[in-house]
Amino acid sequence: MSEAAAAEVHGHQAIVDQTEPSLTPGNSGKLGMWVFLAGDAMTFGAGIAAYGALRYQNVNWPDPADWLGISLTAVMTFILICSSVTMVEALSGIKRGNAQKMQRFLALTVLGGLTFLACQAFEWHHLIWGEQLSIRTSLFAATFFILTGFHGMHVTGGVIYLGTLLTRSFQRPFTVVDTRLVEVAGLYWHFVDLVWILIFTFVYLI
């Protein structure tokens, strides 16, 4: 290879290095979360599709309004949507280097998740012990508890995830450099909120 050709190749490589940076710990974390969420989305999608297929083929499927507390669930949905807003504010705070704002809104997000779980526990207790809704005798009950329970596990995981992040921020003051940690956690929490909106629509309302 001639010196001119070598210089051209080297120059091209330099341009590529500038425009296509190597995978850094920051964007690799986001990539990992996106891959996880993509797989999770397919799992939830399959569950909702199965619920829809079973409901469509069963002429004796009960009206959800006769069993489920739509008003309570609407409040739960509102709480979860508000927690998404507080998550956005927490990310906004750390992007500006305001660790106290991040901690305040992250704590509100955790509180929103805990409130949602408390409402769901109350709903399950009412359905199981009050309405005697059993997965052994009702296909509707089985699909309902599987979908809402699987989502509840994700909310529980999110609360633990965000709570751990919040605890770390008090042990070691967060700076702008730690923005990626909050951003990746926000991706997970927004996904959990979006999935609940779909479940609320297909299971409770339609």
What average pLDDT does this structure show over 47-69? 84
- Report which DSSP code applies to 204: I
Answer whether residue 13 is part of any domain.
Answer: no
Answer whether residue 110 is part of any domain.
Answer: yes
CATH of the domain at 88: 1.20.120.80
The 10 Å CB-count burial string (b at 16+, else e) for 76-107 is bbebbeebbebbebbbebbeeebbeebbbbbb
Question: If you average pLDDT over each of 26-35, 38-47, 128-137, which comes out highest?
Answer: 38-47
How many DSSP H helices and E strands does the chain contain?
7, 0
What average pLDDT does this structure show over 58-80? 86
Answer whether residue 7 is part of any domain.
Answer: no
**SS3 of residue 79 by DSSP:** helix
What average pLDDT does this structure show over 64-83? 89
Percent of the chain with pLDDT over 70: 87
Radius of gyration of the chain (CA): 23
Answer whether residue 8 is part of any domain.
Answer: no
pLDDT at 105: 97
Answer whether residue 146 is part of any domain.
Answer: yes
What average pLDDT does this structure show over 131-149? 84
- The pLDDT mean for the chain works out to 85
pLDDT at 26: 52
**pTM (2 decimals)?**
0.83
pLDDT at 8: 44
Phi-psi map region of 2: left, alpha, beta (phi>0 left; psi -120 to 50 alpha): beta
Domain count, the chain: 1
Domain carrying residue 83: 25-205
* pLDDT exceeds cutoff 90 at 147: yes
Of residues 10 and 95, the one with the higher pLDDT is 95
What average pLDDT does this structure show over 157-176? 93
Answer whether residue 20 is part of any domain.
Answer: no
- Report which DSSP code applies to 205: I
